[in-house]
């Protein structure tokens, strides 16, 4: 079965450039459709409101900041994709990261999900609370975990 | 990244001298700045006070978590202060505050900061954790309790 649609899950910060660049290079080589998905983590904001660490106005401000950062990251990724002449579709959604990415991968019939390196697991608690772990385990299509930023940079420069 | 990667014993003050919320924040911020976690203490304190004006961060059960994102913080900064006499924080339950977690983040680390804030509030709501946490006598013991519950 050919890989026709690559989906990459990205955060909003520089460490997400590694899976982003890998996904662009992979799509270029496979001539596959590429979609980048970012999820604004609303669950954490809801939890902080519930525990009264946040007040409403503050949670709304954080949501705006997170949306702005996500938009800026997607613009940056779009430029990288254009540089390699790869068409990139970007999706920003709200909700629980692992739930929304899995839903989107099914909805868009992605053939492979690319994601950043999983964090070192220190405890069983991490298995339950780390969104990367959850996404890795919950996703239905094959998952490719990108490691070694130096190698990724070389690959990206070569394609 | 774990909470205890950022909560270090040299930023834990086990006997705050301050008697007011404002002085407690200043005292803790001073300690954090002296350890190089904050680049502009006045600006950091200004942002913390602005957040407090929106509503008290005294979340109840003798705990307050004053916090803010600001470029005056290098990465992600956490300070802990304990006041045996208690401080009026206008907390949601009206009780005096004995435990203060002062947290700030550079906007670049917003995601991690939100995760830590949520994790901390979840831990503080855990009766077993709170019981051990409220009985610690030294920064080393405090970090040991957090490490234990992170496992």
Mean pLDDT value across residues A67-79: 93
- pLDDT beyond 60 at A99: yes
Indicate which CATH number applies to the domain containing A17: 3.40.50.620
Encoded tokens for A92: 């920003």
The number of folded domains in chain B is 1
Q: How far is B102 from chain A (nearest CA, A)?
A: 12
Tell me the ipTM for this assembly: 0.87
Q: Give dist(CA B60, CA B96) in Å, integer.
A: 9
What integer best gives the mean pLDDT of chain B? Answer: 93
Q: How many CB atoms lie within 10 A of CB A106?
A: 12
Mean pLDDT value across residues B141-147: 94
Encoded tokens for A150: 């130096």
Q: How far is A31 from chain B (nearest CA, A)?
A: 33
Q: Give dist(CA B66, CA B80) in Å, integer.
A: 11
């990205």: which residue's tokens? Answer: A10
Mind listing the pLDDT tens digit for each residue in A100-137? Answer: 999 999 999 999 999 987 664 444 454 445 677 777 77
Please list every residue in chain B whose beta carbon sits closer than 8 Å to the beta carbon of residue A13: 108-109, 111
Which pLDDT score is estimated for A124? 45
Binary contact (B114, A44; C-beta < 8 A): yes
Mean pLDDT value across residues A10-16: 82
Q: Give dist(CA A153, CA A17) in Å, integer.
A: 10
The SS3 call for residue B151 is: coil
Of A11, A47, A52, the CB nearest to B118: A47
Q: Give dist(CA A15, CA A29) in Å, integer.
A: 23
Mind listing the pLDDT tens digit for each residue in A23-43? Answer: 999 999 999 999 999 998 888
Binary contact (B121, A47; C-beta < 8 A): yes
Mean pLDDT value across residues A59-80: 93
Query: What DSSP designation does B4 have?
Result: G
Which pLDDT score is estimated for A128? 47
Collect all residues with Cβ–Cβ distance below 8 Å to B32 and sequence separation of at least 6.
B11, B38, B77, B79, B102, B104
Q: What is the percent of chain A with per-residue pLDDT over 90, rounded to a whole number?
A: 67
């947290």: which residue's tokens? Answer: B103
Domain that holds residue B125: 3-150
What does A33-54 look like in DSSP terms, one character per residue? EEEEEEEEEHHHHHHHHHTTSS
Domain that holds residue A127: 5-158
Q: What is the percent of chain B with per-residue pLDDT over 90, rounded to a whole number?
A: 83
Which pLDDT score is estimated for A15? 80
Residue that wins the pLDDT comparison between A14 and B92: B92
Indicate which CATH number applies to the domain containing B68: 3.40.930.10
- pLDDT beyond 50 at A51: yes
Mean pLDDT value across residues B127-136: 94
Greatest CA separation for chain B = 37
Q: Give dist(CA B146, CA B129) in Å, integer.
A: 8
The number of folded domains in chain A is 1
Q: How far is B8 from chain A (nearest CA, A)?
A: 18
Mean pLDDT value across residues A6-27: 91
């Amino acid at each position: 079965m050919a890989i026709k649609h690559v989906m990459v899950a990205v955060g909003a910060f520089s460490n997400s450039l590694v899976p982003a660049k890998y996904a662009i290079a992979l799509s270029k080589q496979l001539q596959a459709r590429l979609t980048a998905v970012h999820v604004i983590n609303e669950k954490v904001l809801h939890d902080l409101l519930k525990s009264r660490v946040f007040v409403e106005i503050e949670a709304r401000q954080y949501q705006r900041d997170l949306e702005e950062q996500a938009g800026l990251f997607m613009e940056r990724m779009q430029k990288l994709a254009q540089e390699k002449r790869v068409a990139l579709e970007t999706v920003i959604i709200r909700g629980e990261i692992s739930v929304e990415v899995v839903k989107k991968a099914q909805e868009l019939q992605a053939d492979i999900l690319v994601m950043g390196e999983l964090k070192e697991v220190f405890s069983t608690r991490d298995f339950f609370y780390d969104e990367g772990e959850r996404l890795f385990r919950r996703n239905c299509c094959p998952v490719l975990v990108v490691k070694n930023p130096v190698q990724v940079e070389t690959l990206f420069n070569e394609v | 990244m774990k909470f205890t990667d950022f909560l270090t014993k040299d930023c834990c003050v086990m006997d705050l001298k301050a008697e007011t919320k404002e002085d407690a924040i200043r005292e803790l911020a001073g300690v954090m700045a002296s350890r190089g976690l904050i680049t502009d203490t006045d600006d950091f304190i200004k942002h913390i006070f602005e957040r407090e004006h929106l509503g008290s961060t005294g979340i109840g059960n003798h705990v307050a978590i004053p916090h803010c994102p600001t470029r005056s913080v290098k990465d992600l900064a956490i300070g802990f202060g304990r006041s045996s006499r208690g401080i009026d924080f206008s907390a949601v339950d009206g009780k005096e505050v004995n435990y203060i977690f002062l947290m700030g983040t550079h906007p670049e680390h917003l995601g991690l900061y939100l995760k830590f804030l949520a994790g901390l509030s979840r831990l503080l709501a855990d009766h077993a954790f709170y019981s051990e946490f409220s009985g610690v006598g030294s920064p080393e013991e405090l970090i040991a309790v957090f490490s234990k519950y992170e496992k």
